[in-house]
Amino acid sequence: MQPMTTTAFKEKAHQLIDSLPETADWDDLAEKARYLAAVQRGLEAADRGDFASSERVRAMFAKWGVDVEG
Q: What's 28-54 look like in SS3?
A: HHHHHHHHHHHHHHHHHHHHCCCCCCH
**pLDDT by residue (tens digit) across 13-70?**
999 999 999 999 999 999 999 999 999 999 999 999 998 888 999 999 999 999 877 5
Residues, the chain: 70
Query: 15 or 2, which is more confident?
Result: 15
Give the whole-angstrom CA distance, residue 15 versus residue 26.
15
Tell me the domain boundaries of the chain: 26-70
CB 19 within 8 A of CB 33: no
Classify residue 36 as exposed, middle or buried by CB count within 10 Å of its CB (0-12, 13-18, 19+): middle
**pLDDT by residue (tens digit) across 55-66?**
999 999 999 999
**pTM strictly above 0.75:** no
The per-residue pLDDT for 70 is 57
- The yes-or-no verdict on residue 2 having pLDDT over 80 is no
